[in-house]
């Protein structure tokens, strides 16, 4: 395994030093970047495993690998580069790539590395994930030896059904936050519950407040099971469990064997590790592309390499009619922001200007562009990025449109070029990283120890076929029936899966 | 030691093939088998297993794209074309269809591998032999016109290095006679074998465009496979409603009739064709019949079975019946055939094709026996 990648030497090493210096000169700030070269098979393996050389054994990595290898074998696509968010940052270069490609990739990688280190949403990611993933692999392998591959794999398959049910707020659950919360909570607890005898408020109110404390976002008075009714024995839990952090809820409350709880926690940790990357795809790629383009065109490119560079760059930036290309939208938005903040096209005065001519020729040399994009890369994610900086002018310039399926012609057709509609659709597809919001409502539904999930409907119904199979998998983990309340065609409905069948409740 | 992912890969292949983890089988999609587009590109089936997750229902409602065009213009174009810098791998559930330019031979071998189709052992006379010369090896003698320069150069280089007369500063290589290498031929004996595929399709009112599309796609891939297995292949087309006639390929897929269905009419015509043109002892005969399973009467079905038993089955390698699901079809004929031949008859292969995705499985049904 270790022999599959080699450290860079010779010309590549020189290139790396050169580009590293450019990156520093531009003010990029990153953990050390370790470049290694490998052949296409290795890069396919790494890509299939999310960039990591060692993962737990599971067929899905084999599936990814199968597809990547075929794509490569038939000459359809190849992976140019890969970089993983660790400290130091590991980046892999494809051995067979042209030297210009390697330069682009290196410059691009420094962009990513800077983003990983500075973007707020990455603050709590574990930078030693390489070791963590390898340890997870060892653990799962041991469980497989002890309990059987099929059994463990089947459990993993079930958990993977929940892999997309994450709460972005958990990303800010750093140890400090947890500590300060628990100290605040115990202060709160002391204030309200310590001297029970002196408190003349009704027990009903106290019980209500306590449940709020436990489950601050849930509306119902139900509480997680296993909680003692006696106020005197009440103790705040060390960690806050969000109702959207379904995997954690199951770790804490589902009747699992130790190995199962461990695997669930392992998969949860890995899912949260990848979450920031899912939330910042456009920004991250935009930022990295902005820097490869800047470093290449301003510094690193030799005149003989211009054609090759342009060809590659254009390939990466190709617009697609079926989906937006995050590289393209990302880089263009970064440039647009830089331009607007360079020419003073922001703030109250500009926004309220209705004279089209004046607006078009607006130029106040504020020269804050570079500074602004550094600030943006720090504090935004894709949703807020699009929400704040995706302007009407930009939308038109990008020739964006929405499309939808026309059942009469049986094809997808351009629907609208209307700014509001496009932005709404874009934001919709990015909200909650494009996944439905599912919350734990109760672990004791109907007082029968059943799990109750609520789909926070945001205008789009769930696919009930998938929902049914997903519920079956959750049911297998929870072991009691699992209920799901959602909205179908405007009506609130609740479904239940009891392990045998899926049916509407009542 | 090989990378552990190879084990994951083997595991995945085994799941796809249904060897292990039967409970996952229903999530396996083989990828759609689309009809050829005529420009030399084909989509490669990519098997995948989808984990069930909560997801939005009407994703087919579309999305956002970029480019020229008016309202109502189709949004074709390849997806995700050229996104080389795949930054953070591991994410993005992209569309897993691959469009590739391939020769028919390559395509057939991919198909064979994907479905693990066995090679067909042709029947027929092995007396009809032909020999061909293939220049696939290297010899030390031959005419100048067949001289292999590269090999000769290599030999000379080897010899000079071994003798110590090679000078890297002045790398002149002088070959002598014993260095010369020539392309040489090997004789291959091939058995002439030929096959005929007779497609019969019900074109009565209940067979809609969608059903025909399925038949068209399926027949394309079947032809592809059989062509890779036989040197000569004839393809004949029969359409029928209450009467049958022989047509050319275009008509076969375009025609839509209304009216009743007498399957026996097609079987009769098929019998005539075989009798007239194809001697079963020399030809490998493959009758395929596609319908939605409706037949006019049980009497006619009886007649069909008679023709099959007495004439068609004895002369064919295998008789294949594919039933395409349609809104109007009763599917009775399938049941009748199952009743008469059971599921695992030597010479009768029955397959139900529910939708486009099922085509691959159905092809496997038909060709998986290696007949």
The sign of the torsion formed by the CA atoms of B367, B368, B370, B371 equals negative
Q: Which of B68, B83, B114 is the last residue of a domain?
A: B114
Looking at residue A438, what is its pLDDT?
94
The sign of the torsion formed by the CA atoms of A240, A430, A384, A369 equals positive
For residues B183 and B204, membership in a common domain is answered with no
**SS3 for B302-371, per residue?**
HHHHHHHHHHHHHHCCCEEEEEECCCCCCCHHHHHHHHHHCCCCCCEEEEEECCHHHHHHHHHHHHCCCC
Residues B200-238: tens digit of each pLDDT: 988 877 777 778 878 888 888 788 788 777 777 888 899
Looking at residue A403, what is its pLDDT?
86
CA distances from A389 to A174, A232, A342, B183 (A): 29, 52, 15, 68
Do B308 and B347 meet the contact criterion of CB atoms below 8 Å apart? no
Shortest Cα distance from A204 to chain B (angstroms)? 36
Q: Is B331 left (phi over 0), alpha (psi -120 to 50) or beta?
A: left
Residues A455-471: tens digit of each pLDDT: 998 888 898 888 999 99
Residues A310-348: tens digit of each pLDDT: 999 998 898 888 788 999 999 999 999 999 999 999 888
**b/e map of A79-112 (b: 16 or more CB within 10 Å)?**
bbbbbbbbbebbbbbbbebeebbbbbbbbbbbbb
Q: Cβ–Cβ contacts within 10 Å for residue A298, how many?
A: 10
Q: Does A419 touch chain B (CB under 8 A)?
A: no
For residues B201 and B110, membership in a common domain is answered with no
Q: Three-state SS for A298?
A: helix
Residue B74 lies in a domain: no
Structure tokens at B360: 């691959």
Shortest Cα distance from A365 to chain B (angstroms)? 31
Nearest CA in chain A to B48: A63
Looking at residue B248, what is its pLDDT?
86
- Degrees to nearest 5, angle at CA A286 with A365 and A121: 100
Looking at residue B92, what is its pLDDT?
32
Residue B60 lies in a domain: no
Residue B45 lies in a domain: yes
Q: Which of B170, B189, B208 is the last residue of a domain?
A: B189
For residues B171 and B233, membership in a common domain is answered with no
Residue B295 lies in a domain: yes
Q: What is the pTM of this model?
A: 0.71
| Least reliable range by pLDDT among A29-38, A125-134, A404-413, B89-98 | B89-98
Check whether A196 has a pLDDT greater than 50: no
The answer to whether A414 contacts B11, with C-beta atoms less than 8 Å apart, is: no
Interface ipTM: 0.79
Q: Which domain holds residue B104?
A: 1-51+96-114
What whole-number distance in Å separates Cα of residue B159 and Cα of residue B339? 74
Provide CB contacts within 8 A for A332, sequence distance 6+: A286, A394, A397, A398
Q: Does A58 touch chain B (CB under 8 A)?
A: yes
Looking at residue A439, what is its pLDDT?
93
For residues B176 and B206, membership in a common domain is answered with no
For residues B234 and B352, membership in a common domain is answered with yes
State in Å, rounded, how far the first CA of chain B is from the last one: 40
The sign of the torsion formed by the CA atoms of B141, B144, B148, B149 equals positive
Residue in the structure block whose two tokens are 């030497």: A9
Residue in the structure block whose two tokens are 């399973």: B293
Q: Does A43 touch chain B (CB under 8 A)?
A: no
Sheet holding B244-247, edge to edge: B244-247, B232-240, B194-202, B283-291, B319-324, B348-353
What whole-number distance in Å separates Cα of residue B300 and Cα of residue B189? 47
DSSP tag of A334: H
CB-count exposure of residue B248 (10 Å: 0-12, 13-18, 19+):
exposed
Element (H, E) at B136: strand B129-139
Q: Which of B189, B213, B231 is the last residue of a domain?
A: B189
Mean pLDDT over the full length of chain A: 85
Check whether A211 has a pLDDT greater than 50: no
> How many domains does chain B divide into?
3
- Mutation target to probe the A interface, by most A beta carbons within 10 A, among B21, B57, B88 is B88
Phi, psi of A368 (to 5 degrees): -110, 10
Structure tokens at B289: 């019949």
Residues A253-281: tens digit of each pLDDT: 999 999 999 999 999 999 999 999 999 99
Structure tokens at A325: 């290309």
Element (H, E) at A71: helix A59-73
- Mutation target to probe the A interface, by most A beta carbons within 10 A, among B43, B45, B53 is B53
Strands B319-324 and B348-353: parallel
Check whether A90 has a pLDDT greater than 80: yes
The CATH number for B272's domain is 3.40.50.410
**b/e map of A189-226 (b: 16 or more CB within 10 Å)?**
beebbeeeeeeeeeeeebeeebbebbbeebeeebbbee
For residues B208 and B308, membership in a common domain is answered with yes
For residues B30 and B43, membership in a common domain is answered with yes
Check whether A235 has a pLDDT greater than 50: no
Which of A81, A325, A413 has its CB closest to that of B75? A413
Which of B48, B54, B75 has its CB closest to that of A462? B54
The answer to whether B5 contacts A48, with C-beta atoms less than 8 Å apart, is: yes
Q: Does B213 touch chain A (CB under 8 A)?
A: no
Which chain A residues are within 8 Å of B48, Cβ to Cβ?
63, 67
Q: Which of B54, B47, B41 is nearest to B27 (CA)?
A: B47
Cis peptide before B156 (omega within 30 of 0): no
For residues B359 and B238, membership in a common domain is answered with yes
For residues B180 and B159, membership in a common domain is answered with yes
Which chain A residues are within 8 Å of B3, Cβ to Cβ?
1, 4, 45
Residue B77 lies in a domain: no
With a cut of 70, list the residues of chain B below it in pLDDT: 1, 17-46, 58-61, 76-106, 110, 114-116, 121-130, 190-192, 328-329, 371
For residues B150 and B201, membership in a common domain is answered with no
Nearest CA in chain B to A112: B87
Looking at residue B104, what is its pLDDT?
67
For residues B34 and B103, membership in a common domain is answered with yes
- Mutation target to probe the B interface, by most B beta carbons within 10 A, among A321, A458, A477 is A321
What whole-number distance in Å separates Cα of residue A474 and Cα of residue A250? 9
Residue in the structure block whose two tokens are 């027949």: B219
What whole-number distance in Å separates Cα of residue B88 and Cα of residue A80? 12
- The length of chain A, given as a count of residues: 506
Structure tokens at B356: 């486009």
CB-count exposure of residue B240 (10 Å: 0-12, 13-18, 19+):
buried
| Domain spans of chain A, in order of start | 2-119+280-308, 129-171+246-278, 174-233, 320-431, 436-504
What whole-number distance in Å separates Cα of residue A409 and Cα of residue A392? 31
Which of B15, B67, B86 has its CB closest to that of A399? B67
What whole-number distance in Å separates Cα of residue A150 and Cα of residue A96? 39
Which of B8, B79, B100 has its CB closest to that of A62? B8
Q: How many distinct helices (H) and strands (E) make up chain A?
A: 20, 11
Q: How confident is the model at residue A80 (pLDDT cuts 50, 70, 90)?
A: confident
DSSP tag of B36: P
The answer to whether B100 contacts A75, with C-beta atoms less than 8 Å apart, is: yes
Mean pLDDT over the full length of chain B: 76
Do A421 and A202 meet the contact criterion of CB atoms below 8 Å apart? no
Residue B71 lies in a domain: no
Strands A89-94 and A400-406: unpaired
For residues B163 and B278, membership in a common domain is answered with no
Looking at residue A200, what is its pLDDT?
47
What whole-number distance in Å separates Cα of residue B368 and Cα of residue A464? 35
Q: How confident is the model at residue A226 (pLDDT cuts 50, 70, 90)?
A: very low
Residues A39-69: tens digit of each pLDDT: 989 999 999 999 999 999 999 999 999 888 8
What whole-number distance in Å separates Cα of residue A456 and Cα of residue B41? 44
Residue B90 lies in a domain: no
Q: Which of B219, B138, B232, B226 is nearest to B186 (CA)?
A: B138
């Amino acid at each position: 395994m270790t022999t599959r990648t080699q450290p860079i030497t010779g010309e590549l090493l020189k290139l790396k030093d050169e580009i590293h210096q450019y990156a520093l000169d531009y003010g990029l700030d990153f953990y050390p970047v370790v470049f290694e070269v490998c052949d296409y098979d290795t890069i396919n393996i790494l890509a299939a495993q999310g960039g990591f050389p060692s993962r737990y054994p599971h067929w899905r990595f084999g599936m990814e690998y199968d597809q990547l290898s075929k794509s490569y074998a038939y000459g359809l696509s190849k992976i140019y580069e890969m970089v993983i968010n660790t400290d130091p940052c590991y980046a892999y270069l494809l051995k067979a790539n042209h030297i210009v490609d390697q330069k682009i990739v290196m410059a691009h990688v420094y962009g990513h590395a800077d983003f990983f280190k500075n973007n707020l949403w990455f603050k709590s990611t574990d930078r030693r994930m390489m070791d963590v993933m390898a340890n997870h692999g060892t653990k799962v392998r041991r469980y497989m030896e002890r309990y059987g591959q099929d059994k463990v794999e089947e459990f993993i398959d079930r958990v993977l059904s929940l892999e997309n049910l994450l709460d972005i707020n958990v990303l800010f659950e750093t140890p400090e936050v947890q500590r300060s919360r628990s100290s605040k909570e115990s202060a709160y607890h002391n204030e309200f519950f310590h001297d029970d005898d002196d408190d003349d408020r009704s027990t009903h109110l106290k019980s209500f407040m306590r449940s709020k404390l436990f489950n601050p976002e849930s509306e119902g008075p139900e509480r997680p099971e296993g909680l003692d009714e006696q106020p005197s024995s009440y103790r705040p839990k060390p960690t806050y469990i969000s109702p959207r952090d379904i995997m954690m809820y199951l770790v804490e409350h589902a009747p699992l064997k130790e190995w199962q709880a461990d695997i669930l926690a392992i998969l949860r940790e890995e899912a949260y590790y990848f979450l920031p990357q899912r939330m910042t795809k456009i920004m991250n790629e935009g930022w990295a592309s902005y820097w490869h383009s800047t470093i290449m065109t301003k510094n690193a490119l030799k005149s003989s390499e211009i054609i090759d560079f342009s060809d590659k760059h254009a390939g990466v930036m190709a617009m697609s009619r079926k989906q937006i290309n995050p590289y393209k939208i990302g880089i263009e938005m970064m440039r647009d922001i830089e331009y607007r903040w360079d020419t003073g096209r922001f703030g109250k005065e500009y926004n309220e200007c209705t004279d089209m001519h004046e607006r078009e020729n607006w130029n106040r040399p504020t020269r804050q562009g570079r500074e602004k994009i550094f600030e943006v890369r720090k504090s935004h994610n894709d949703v807020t990025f699009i929400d704040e900086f995706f302007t009407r002018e930009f939308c038109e310039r990008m020739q964006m449109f929405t499309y939808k399926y026309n059942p009469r012609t049986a094809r997808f057709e351009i629907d609208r070029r209307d700014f509001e509609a496009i932005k709404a659709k874009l934001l919709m597809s990015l909200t909650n990283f494009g996944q439905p919001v599912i919350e734990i409502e109760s672990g004791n539904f109907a007082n029968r120890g059943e799990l109750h999930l609520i789909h926070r409907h945001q205008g789009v119904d769930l696919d009930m076929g998938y929902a049914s199979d997903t519920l079956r998998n959750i049911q297998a983990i929870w072991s009691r029936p699992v209920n799901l309340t959602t909205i179908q065609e405007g009506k609130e409905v609740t479904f239940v899966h009891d392990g045998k069948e899926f049916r509407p409740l009542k | 030691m090989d990378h552990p992912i190879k084990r994951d890969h083997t595991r995945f292949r085994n799941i796809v093939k249904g060897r292990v983890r039967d409970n996952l089988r229903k999530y396996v999609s083989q990828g759609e088998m689309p009809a050829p587009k005529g420009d030399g590109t084909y989509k490669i089936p990519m098997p995948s297993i989808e984990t069930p997750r909560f997801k939005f229902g009407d994703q087919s409602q579309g999305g956002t794209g970029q480019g020229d065009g008016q309202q109502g213009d189709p949004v074709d174009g390849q997806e995700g074309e050229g996104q080389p810098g795949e930054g953070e791998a591991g994410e993005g559930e992209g569309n897993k269809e691959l469009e590739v330019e391939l020769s028919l031979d390559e395509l057939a071998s991919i198909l064979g591998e994907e479905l693990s189709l066995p090679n067909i052992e042709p029947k027929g006379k092995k007396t009809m032999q032909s020999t061909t010369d293939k220049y696939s090896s290297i010899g030390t003698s031959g005419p100048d016109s067949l001289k292999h320069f590269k090999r000769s150069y290599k030999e000379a280089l080897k010899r000079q290095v071994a003798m110590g007369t090679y000078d890297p500063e002045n790398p002149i290589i002088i070959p002598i006679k014993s260095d010369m290498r020539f392309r040489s031929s090997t004789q291959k004996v091939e058995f002439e074998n030929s096959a005929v595929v007779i497609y019969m399709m019900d074109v009565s009112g209940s067979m809609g465009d969608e059903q025909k599309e399925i038949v068209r796609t399926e027949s394309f891939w079947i032809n592809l496979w059989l062509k890779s297995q036989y040197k000569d292949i004839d393809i004949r087309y029969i359409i029928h409603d209450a009467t049958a006639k022989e047509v050319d390929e275009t008509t076969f897929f375009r025609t839509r009739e209304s009216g009743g269905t007498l399957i026996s009419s097609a079987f009769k015509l098929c019998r005539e064709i075989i009798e007239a043109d194809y001697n079963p002892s020399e030809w490998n005969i493959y009758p395929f019949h596609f319908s939605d399973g409706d037949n006019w009467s049980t009497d006619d079905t009886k007649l069909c079975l008679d023709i099959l038993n007495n004439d068609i089955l004895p002369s064919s390698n295998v008789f294949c019946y594919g039933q395409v699901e349609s809104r109007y079809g009763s599917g009775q004929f399938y049941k009748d055939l199952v009743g008469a031949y059971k599921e695992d008859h030597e010479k009768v292969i029955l397959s139900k094709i529910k939708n486009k995705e099922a085509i691959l499985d159905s092809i496997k049904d038909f060709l998986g026996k290696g007949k």
